[in-house]
Amino acid sequence: MNDMIHTLLAHRSIRKFTDDPIPDDHIEVATRAGQMASTSSAVQAYCAIRVTNPDSRRVIADLAGPQQKVADAPAFFVICGDARRHRLLCECAGQKYRQQLEGFLISVIDATLFAQNMVIAFESLGYGICYIGGIRNDLARVAEVLRLPIGVYPIFGLCVGKPAESPDERPRLPTPGVLFEDTYPTDEEVFAQIDAYDAAYAAYLAKRGASATGWSRAMVKKMDHASRLTLGPFYREQGADLD
Amino acid sequence: MNDMIHTLLAHRSIRKFTDDPIPDDHIEVATRAGQMASTSSAVQAYCAIRVTNPDSRRVIADLAGPQQKVADAPAFFVICGDARRHRLLCECAGQKYRQQLEGFLISVIDATLFAQNMVIAFESLGYGICYIGGIRNDLARVAEVLRLPIGVYPIFGLCVGKPAESPDERPRLPTPGVLFEDTYPTDEEVFAQIDAYDAAYAAYLAKRGASATGWSRAMVKKMDHASRLTLGPFYREQGADLD
């Protein structure tokens, strides 16, 4: 176990921040660390938009929940898959940009690799972070506020700041429940891992004063109904081809 | 600049490995570090399948290129988005799993966050890695070899081992070309960043003895035609709803 692995294992999402500002050189070096993540054939299909305008922050905080931390965090980024550069270059060359689902998928993967390296760099500097999937409640509004042109696909938000809380570790599935050898396990094996996990998860929730439901019930409650049905139409309007 | 950021900035994809095996406890701790990455509402929509069977490795190495490193690397994983657990739990509860594009997107994001933390843990232990997008050439065959049931979406492969090469840094876009404030830049501003980058990229290629084309031309060549058209139909057959 080295310091780096210790830092990775110590990750907690932070939802309350102090008012301490983040120096520009920290943002610069974290972004640079993000850029050094792997990228498919050097396409670098991502960008980060740092939102400093308080009105824009307020709009995004409201549509994402509301989530006050989006308005208040010392730094807030919208991380985007970005095929804009590639589209412009193809146009200039008199060609049509023809990436279908592969192009969209690469932009999501590249942007996520980039963001996670940024996150680790920020955490190594003593900051805490929280990803904000809630921006996907209304991406059309996000795109309007940030003036995102065709080819730019906002994926998630990212709050960063000095932690003003110290939350407990949220337990994860047992490692043998996510790491398999050669073939995918049987349903019975899958359920055995989930059963072991449900008790640990319920204990965690009870300690936080939440109703002590297991992970299984929380997942069913979350996934037995459709959500964010505007996503597909939005990404298609932004130029993604999901076929 | 701390050691962690130094490690992130020092990343190079490694395509040649020594024969040194990777101890199981290193794989275990890297996977655990992967699991501690953020996950949307604790869904943990991912798994890693470590491929040790030489016949399976050979099949995947061939369809991915061929890429001999996939057959030879001391460890090779197929990283998957995984909605299998959630589907089984919904079924058990007499509910239908109803996540559409949001569910697929979360599985891609979660799996990528997980993988990148694994990668950083491996690199901190002195290993080198290479992501393998080439498995997406024929995911139906990958799913057959690994016996992936409905709800499991292979996304990329990952080779890991002790580096047997020390490649130069592949230059990235200038940081102001990927980090914006409040709004997306104009096309002119985008092109100014690309122009600066093209020269650096051509110099890098020339040093490697490749034909010294710039990044712009490489991108157009890659993106002016459709690729991997089986992706959408494959993921839909695996149960993903991309609408």
Return the residue in A127, A159, A179, A228 with the most chain B beta carbons within 10 A, the one to mutate for interface testing. A179
Q: Which tokens go with B69?
A: 């490193």
* Cα nearest neighbour of A50 on chain B: B181
Domain final position from B113, B146, B168: B168
List B residues 15-34 in contact with A (Cβ-Cβ < 8 A).
27-33
* Number of A–B residue contacts, CB under 8 Å: 329
Mutate which: A9, A13, A109, vs B, most B CBs within 10 A? A109
- Identify the pLDDT of residue B209: 80
Q: In sequence order, which residues have a C-beta less than 8 Å from that of residue A125 and are 6 or more positions away?
A: A26, A30, B2, B5
Q: B187 touching A, CB under 8 A?
A: yes
Output the six-digit token pair for A51: 């939102």
> Mean pLDDT score of chain B, rounded to an integer?
96
- Shortest Cα distance, chain B CAs vs residue A229, angstroms: 7
| Least CB–CB distance from A97: residue in B1, B11, B223 | B223
Domain total of chain A: 2
Residues B213 and B234 in one domain: yes
Residue after which a domain boundary falls, among B168, B184, B217: B168
Measured between beta carbons, which residues in chain B are less than 8 angstroms from residue A84? Answer: 184, 190
Identify the domain containing residue B26 by its residue range.
Answer: 3-168
Residues A39, A68, single domain; the answer is yes
Q: In this structure, are B180 and B156 located in the same domain?
A: no
Q: Do B7 and A8 touch (CB under 8 A)?
A: no
CB contact under 8 A, B147 and A184: yes
Q: Which of B34, B2, B9, B3 is nearest to B160 (CA)?
A: B34
Contact criterion met (CB below 8 Å) for B238 and B136:
no
Per-residue pLDDT of chain B (243 residues; tens, 9 = 90+): 799 999 999 999 999 999 999 999 999 999 999 999 999 999 999 999 999 999 999 999 999 999 999 999 999 999 999 999 999 999 999 999 999 999 999 999 999 999 999 999 999 999 999 999 999 999 999 999 999 999 999 999 999 999 999 999 999 999 999 999 999 999 999 999 999 899 889 888 888 887 767 899 999 999 999 999 999 999 999 999 998
Assess if residue A233 is contained within a domain: no
Question: Rounded to whole angstroms, how far apart are CA atoms B139 and B144?
Answer: 8
Q: Which residues of A touch B44 (CB under 8 A)?
A: 172-173, 178
pLDDT at residue B212 in the model: 65
CB contact under 8 A, A184 and B146: yes
Residue B31 is nearest to which of A44, A178, A243, comparing CB atoms? A178
Do A143 and A197 lie in one domain? The reply is no
Do the Cβ atoms of A140 and A234 come closer than 8 Å?
Answer: yes
The verdict on A116 and A155 lying in the same domain is yes
Pairwise CA distance, residues A198 & A215, whole Å: 5
Asked if A15 and A78 sit in the same domain, the reply is: yes
- Please check whether residue A239 lies inside any domain of the structure: no
Contact A172 B243 (CB under 8 A): no
What pLDDT is recorded for position B124?
A: 96
Residues 157-186 of A with CB under 8 A from B: 170, 172-173, 175, 178-184
Inter-CA distances, B227 with A93, A116, B132, Å: 19, 27, 16
Kindly report the nearest CA distance between residue A189 and chain B, in angstroms.
11
Residues of A in contact with B2 (CB under 8 A): 124-125
The answer, for B148 touching chain A at a CB cutoff of 8 Å, is yes
What local confidence, expressed as pLDDT, does residue B123 receive? 97
Q: Is residue A160 within 8 Å of A74, Cβ to Cβ?
A: yes
B108: domain CATH number is 3.40.109.10
| pLDDT for the residue A212 | 65
Strands laid side by side in the B128-132 sheet: A179-181, B46-50, B75-82, B152-161, B128-132
Instruction: Tell me which residue in A9, A124, A191 faces B36 most closely, judged by beta carbons.
Output: A9
Beta partners for residue A188, in sequence order: none
Is the same domain home to A12 and A77? Answer: yes
Scanning A204-223 for CB atoms below 8 A from B yields: 215-220, 222-223
Instruction: Please say whether the beta carbons of B15 and B165 come within 8 A.
Output: yes
pLDDT tens digits for chain A (243 residues)?
Answer: 799 999 999 999 999 999 999 999 999 999 999 999 999 999 999 999 999 999 999 999 999 999 999 999 999 999 999 999 999 999 999 999 999 999 999 999 999 999 999 999 999 999 999 999 999 999 999 999 999 999 999 999 999 999 999 999 999 999 999 999 999 999 999 999 999 899 889 888 888 887 767 899 999 999 999 999 999 999 999 999 998
B147 and B45 within one domain: yes
In chain B, what residues touch A137 (CB-CB under 8 Å)?
none
What is the spatial order of strands in the sheet that A128-132 belongs to?
A128-132, A152-161, A75-82, A46-50, B179-181
Contact A45, A115 (CB under 8 A): no
Judge whether B71 and B150 are in contact, CB under 8 Å.
no
Are the Cβ atoms of A108 and B103 closer than 8 angstroms?
no
Q: Indicate if A211 and A108 belong to the same structural domain.
A: no
Q: H helices within chain A, ranges in order?
A: 3-9, 24-35, 54-63, 68-72, 84-92, 101-124, 139-145, 187-207, 215-223, 231-237
Residues 6+ away with beta carbon under 8 Å from A29: A121, B1, B5
Residue B98 touches chain A, beta carbons under 8 Å: yes
Tell whether B242 is within 8 A of chain A (Cβ). Answer: yes
| A242 domain residue, yes or no | no
Residue A225, Cβ neighbours under 10 Å: how many?
Answer: 11
Specify the pairing of strand B152-161 against strand B128-132.
Answer: antiparallel
Considering the domain architecture, whether residues A151 and A56 belong to the same structural domain is answered as: yes
Q: Which of B120, B150, B168 is the last residue of a domain?
A: B168
Same domain, B97 and B136: yes
Interface subset of A 50-79, CB within 8 angstroms of B? 50-53, 56
- Give yes or no: residues A147 and A184 share one domain: no
Q: Do B8 and A117 touch (CB under 8 A)?
A: yes
> Which residue from B minimizes the CA distance to A132?
B40
Domain assignment present for residue A89? The answer is yes
ipTM: 0.98
Pick B7's closest partner by Cβ from A4, A232, A235: A4
